[in-house]
Chains A and B, each alone.
Chain A
């Protein structure tokens, strides 16, 4: 068998499709031809590396949760009932989103929910403000204050209860979070009676000091 013929059989040999007779004939050729032996070994090793090498990356654990959330947002009629299955299957995840949303308010001055893209839906249901927990006092915003923790829990319970009502309250669920965030931001604004508020910087109180105007001798080197 010549090298050209032997190399034409490599594919069939690698795929396990070579007849016994041809396999024997190829084996005899390889015993006496180092070039073909090296070429076939290289192809075998290449195939083994491709088939058995470990993966460079892998999906994170939350991939399935994110995918299911996307399916829900797709709005397909068939998957509307998935909402209940998702919330039943992931109540901790839903509570965590709410909790992080509240915590995000206290650590940031903007209205973005920390760590999550917040899609603002068109409000279809106006939530009765009187049904919400009372707006917290300014002095509650001490992370060590126990009243803060109780207010967070009340807020979570209210929003989770809203979401459990079903599809028709889903917009209220989103609006509740937004309104609670607005309440928090309003409560964190400085008191206008004691501190004049401005657009970006707090206004400085200027106490007039009766001093003589500076002379040339008083100019300091900068």
Chain B
């Protein structure tokens, strides 16, 4: 879904969609395999549950294929698919808990979760990673989606705006506020640490 998708990728995608519209099951399988991992990765980070994420991923594909006639070739299929997936996520989250808007991060203590750290890394790096993800999880839904799409899926603000169905200015505002909140949550925890080691992660 990155901006680097070439014209050849878009052309091939268009051919697959045309074949699917004619009932080609092999083309459908290929299109699923092209997008399923990225879609699942996004949904998985949004709702934190493997089985529910798999179910939402499947639901998104089913909805996409059932309304394939309304898909316009001027968009990338991945953008359209992610749009559907995000909306299914929102429905799932609303069913699970009411939408309360932005979280008041100042009252939520940030502690190191018990998630297993990645092997072959220092313990401190692993702890910082867990802290970062814990802070990301505390963002509001649209902010979390913006951060994931921007950083993890390499999407531009314009692309994020399409997926989330928001104006570009709103997306930029979400990104700015998310960064501010992440910084506010993490600064007290890592204030005494030297980030030199961690900056090596940035290459």
Contact = CB atoms under 8 A, between A and B. Distances in A.
Contacts of A56: 44, 115
Contacts, number: 122
Contacts of B123: none
B24 A45 contact: no
B75 interface: no
Interface stretch (A34-42, A98-106, A146-154): A34-42
Interface in B62-114: 62, 65-66
Interface in B163-203: 175-176, 179, 182-183, 186-187, 190-191, 195, 198-199, 201-203
Contact of B40 (A11, A46, A58, A84): A58
- State the main secondary structure of chain B at its contact with A: helix
Contacts of B58: 63, 66-67, 70
Given A43-B182, A81-B23, A71 B202 contact: no
A64 interface: yes
A57 interface: yes
- State the main secondary structure of chain A at its contact with B: helix
Interface in A40-95: 41-59, 63-64, 66-68, 70-71, 74, 76, 78-82, 84-86, 89
A10 B154 CA distance: 19
Contacts of A41: 195, 198-199
A52 B175 CA distance: 18
A44 B136 CA distance: 14
B50 interface: yes
B199 A46 contact: no
Interface in B145-169: 147-148, 151-152, 154
A132 interface: no
Nearest to A37: B195
B25 A68 contact: yes
A4 to B, nearest CB: 13
Given A43-B182, A45-B128, A50-B147, A74 B62 contact: yes
B11 interface: no
Contacts of A11: 175-176, 179
A82 B66 CA distance: 14
A85 B25 contact: yes
A70 B62 contact: yes
A86 B65 CA distance: 16
Contact of A71 (B28, B33, B128, B129): B28
A74 B202 contact: no
Nearest to B33: A64
A86 B23 CA distance: 11
Contacts of B151: 47, 50-51
Contacts of B25: 68, 79, 81-82, 84-86, 89
Contacts of A124: none
Contact of A80 (B23, B33, B41, B135): B23
B12 interface: no
A14 interface: yes
A91 to B, nearest CB: 13
